[in-house]
Amino acid sequence: MQEILKQLEEKRAAARAGGGKKRVEAQHAKGRLTARERIELLLDPDSFEEWDMFVEHRCHDFGMGSQRVPGDGVVTGYGTVNGRLVFVFSQDFTVFGGSLSEAHAEKICKVMDQALRVGAPVIGINDSGGARIQEGVASLAGYAEVFQRNIMASGVVPQISVIMGPCAGGAVYSPAMTDFIFMVKDSSYMFVTGPEVVKTVTHETVTFEQLGGAVTHSQKSGVADLAFENDVEALLEVRRFVDMLPASNRSKAPARQTTDPIDRDEMSLDTLIPSNPNKPYDMKELIQKVVDEGDFFELQPAHARNILTGFARMGGETVGIVANQPMVLAGCLDIDSSRKAARFVRFCDCFEIPIVTFVDVPGFLPGTTQEHGAIIKHGAKLLFAYGEATVPKVTVITRKAYGGAYDVMSSKHLRGDVNFAWPTAEIAVMGPKGAVEIIFRADAGDADKIAERTEEYRQKFATPFVAGARGFIDDVIMPHSTRKRICRSLAMLRDKKIENPWKKHDNIPL
């Protein structure tokens, strides 16, 4: 018996050692934690239950038969984050560069399958050189098995990818299919082909960071949701983030007690909107002043900054926030902002998270770049996402809501449950000046007459009362009462039930 116990401990020690002291030191020298250190930071103390510690690869080619490390380059299992169950896998770059083998993939698939059975989030920590070349097609088959699990888990349990090292080639498609991607600056990379291949094929000279670094993907491409300074910050923020999400599509997000009164008036909001309709203001200030304790977890803050998305709590319960940002492009909808918001709205709808929308949108961004880039299709994604969503939807129009963009932003016509407007709201087909120049084209040369007509149009149509008269706006509210009115609406909608017609699945305009 003692001999067996000794053998067990030796095996465990070999697995915990990963690729050995030298490789662990090399990992630390790059400013990166090891796979096990990351899991320790992510999960509650002593909550991790590891699976498949003794799994080894089955490859005998290219001298691999003599190179076996227990665990085979990935640590898998489950534990808790703030007391709530999560499944996790963490790739170990110190073992074969974290490369994915057939056995490595099977370990990941096992925890993903179990997460679906019990209904718990999956958090994947990626730090891998890609497919294990020595295994050839068996490694590619392993990737495809993981991809299939990502697809089956989509909309069933939240999936979060934390990129903490290289992620290249086919490996990027697993994170791409998860719900959220977090990266680490100057440490993690995502690209389909690396800089050397790019140089060979297109003759472009580009660095790893420029091609697929955290800043590139969180600002330009929008592939990543957030970029953090280091591993520690990333993992601590993931802990905070997971706490806002439901465990699965069968459960609600956890409610948290708040000391912030739901009937709190915020008098400063009465002066938030400038008297000049062309002057911007910061929509983030409004969000922070109406949500619980001003705590807003913003997603993709550096990408498509003309729209804001993120999670907060109102009355202790998680809500998804979507808001136009007048500080950037006057809050216009464009290709990137439409895609960004549509993806977020669909996630909220998957997991029964109510959506609160703050509207100040003068329309869709004009120009050949947008039209040739298919703004029609991309704008339709946001329209489609709001229209198919069956979760509670509360909308507040603060200022401009013009044209088709008014329809798109969770209007009453797209099954918005409660639609409020501030007294400053301008709900119309277009701005007064543009409308008058079309209607009274014959008076175009008479500046005084045009100015008079513009003011007349503003008084008659650029108000919330025409929409209110038709029931498209449920109430015109004082800005300072916004928090109270939203919280009451969400409480009323808590048991809302609505179903879309039966279908295999929809055909969103991709």
Q: Which residues are known catalytic residues?
A: 169-170, 404-405
Return the H-helix or E-strand segment holding 422: none
The structure tokens 């550096």 sit at 302
Residue 311 CA to residue 243 CA, distance in Å, equals 11
User: Residue 159 — left, alpha, or beta (φ > 0 → left; ψ -120 to 50 → alpha)?
Assistant: beta
DSSP 320-382: EEEEE-TTTGGG-B-HHHHHHHHHHHHHHHHTT--EEEEEEE--BPPSHHHHHTTHHHHHHHH
3-state SS, residue 128: coil
CA dihedral of 130, 134, 135, 137, whole degrees rounded to 10: 70
* Residue 70 DSSP symbol: T
**Structure tokens that stand for 214 in this block:** 């955290």
DSSP 217-258: IIIII---SEEESSHHHHHHHHHHHHTTS-SSTTSPPPP---
Residues ≥6 apart with Cβ < 8 Å to 442: none
The structure tokens 């662990």 sit at 24
3-state SS, residue 470: coil
Residue 167 CA to residue 143 CA, distance in Å, equals 13
DSSP 155-201: TTS-EEEEE-SEEEGGGGHHHHTSSEEEEETTT-EEESS-HHHHHHH
Instruction: Measure Cα distances from 121 to 153, 197, 389 in Å.
Output: 9, 36, 22
